[in-house]
Amino acid sequence: MIEQILNDLVLSPAWYYTAARGLTVIVILMSIAAYSVLLERKASAWIQGRVGPNRTNHPLIAWIPFFGNVLMRGGFIQPAADGLKFLFKEDALPGHVRKTFYILAPCIALAPALISLVMLPFGELPSGQIITLCPGADIGVLFMFAISSLGVYGIALAGWAANSKYPFLGAIRGSAQLISYELAMGLSVLTVFLATATPDQNNALSLVSMVKAQTGAWNILYHPVAALIFLICVFAEANRHPFDMPESETDLVGGFHTEYGAFKFGLFFVAEYSHMVIGSSLFILMFLGGWHILPWLPTVGTGIFATLLGLGSFFLKLAAFLFFFVWVRWTVPRFRYDQVMRIGWRVLLPIAVVNLLVYFIWYAVKG
């Protein structure tokens, strides 16, 4: 039996195929996260009238005649330098922390982000197969919500394990904020699924069928209120400005990661940006037509060309959305904690409920 398992696991080509796909997606996510850090630094510099990172270079890249200089000016080697810095710094372990959980917390923060990736569809092959890690799963969005919300456990655990006041406050804020915005988020998504899923449909909660339902108009045109609520909630769930309550450098000196440094802090960093990537991907898949190019124009061309164009369209939308995250961050000041709670419970939740009811009645009357 063990031989059988070994055969299945190690020797079967399907396993290698899956591992290779998994690695590819992780590498893509990691590099997107790294380069959104660069985007953050560059965009913030531009908004503030600065230039941003433009000095980092590597001799091998500097050697390329014209392109090397462009890469340096654009700061394209900066993420590597940032990552290496985190990797080679002294990994200090403060004496007053709860050690096991202190070390565990960054991993718990990052793991859900990576796990929820398996459900993300990126595009469609000419054969009709979906480019995703876990094809055929019909609970896509449910799984995404269930897993990606676990990310806050990392924050809560970090705040508690750090055994110090500011991280603790940050962790409490993070948990409260997640609970508050999860409700409105779920209700806004429900509205959309109410519209796209038919009662006898097999894979009603699948993100793929959600994208396929948007070959005509994109959902954002039919569900603008739901899209707005979802957008605000994505900002809140990803702990981004103006909802970066768990971190809020000014009043909590960094919040949950105050006591963290070196690579453990780097993991939190990557986790935050991964949540941004996943939140934006969800928004694109549910409201912006996924890999469809324009409303009423799902594909252009045929075969592999159409696939590549679809993938390009998805990643272009993702890049635009990540830029939007950054743009908002350098525009809007942080909400106060009570304002965050008020927006969540007294504004977004009622609007989401009314929105759901209106669509519910509309579909009931329409039949």
Partner 1 sequence: MAIKIVERRPLSFAEKTYLPQIIAGLKVTWDNLVKPPVTLQYPDERPVIPAGYRGVPTLVRDPHGREKCVSCQLCEFVCPPKAIRITPGEILETADNNHVEKAPKEFEINMLRCIYCGLCQEVCPEEAIWLQGQYSMTGKTREEMVNNKEKLYELGGTLPDSHYKWDKKKAEAERQQHGHH
Residue 124 has φ and ψ, to the nearest 5°, of -130, 130
Q: Cβ closer to partner 1: 12 or 339?
A: 339
Q: Does 345 bind partner 1 (CB under 8 A)?
A: no
Q: Cβ closer to partner 1: 126 or 350?
A: 350
Q: Cβ closer to partner 1: 263 or 330?
A: 330
Q: Cβ closer to partner 1: 18 or 339?
A: 339
- 92 contacts 162 by C-beta, under 8 angstroms: no
Mask for 25-44, x = binds partner 1 (CB under 8 A):
------------------x-
Work out how close the CB of 101 gets to partner 1 at its nearest, in angstroms, rounded to a whole number. Answer: 38
Mask for 299-328, x = binds partner 1 (CB under 8 A):
----------------------------xx
Q: Cβ closer to partner 1: 235 or 314?
A: 235
Q: Does 350 bind partner 1 (CB under 8 A)?
A: no
Sign of CA dihedral 240, 242, 244, 248: positive
Work out how close the CB of 279 gets to partner 1 at its nearest, in angstroms, rounded to a whole number. Answer: 18
- Cα–Cα separations (whole angstroms), residue 328 to 228, 235, 241, 243: 14, 10, 7, 11
Stretch that binds partner 1, among 48-56, 84-92, 151-159, 207-215 (CB under 8 A): 48-56
10 Å CB burial of residue 83 (0-12, 13-18, 19+) is middle
Among 45, 71, 103, 195, indicate the residue that binds partner 1 (CB under 8 A).
Answer: 45
Q: Cβ closer to partner 1: 208 or 231?
A: 231
Cβ contacts of 299 within 8 Å, gap of 6 or more: 292, 293, 306, 309, 310
Size of the site for partner 1 (CB under 8 A): 13
Tell me how many degrees the CA angle 186-190-191 measures, rounded to the nearest 5.
125
Among 101, 145, 330, 337, indicate the residue that binds partner 1 (CB under 8 A).
Answer: 330
Q: Does 49 bind partner 1 (CB under 8 A)?
A: yes
- Tell me how crowded residue 340 is: count the other CB atoms within 10 A of its CB: 21
Strand ranges in the chain using DSSP code E only, listed in sequence order:
123-124, 130-131
Among 331, 346, 350, 353, indicate the residue that binds partner 1 (CB under 8 A).
Answer: 331
Rounded distance between C-alpha atoms, residue 189 and residue 208, angstroms: 15
Q: 21-48 b/e with 16+ CB inside 10 Å = b?
A: beeebeeebbebbbbbbbbbbbbebeee
Rounded distance between C-alpha atoms, residue 343 and residue 177, angstroms: 10
Q: Cβ closer to partner 1: 142 or 328?
A: 328
Residues that bind partner 1 (CB under 8 A): 43, 45-51, 327-328, 330-332
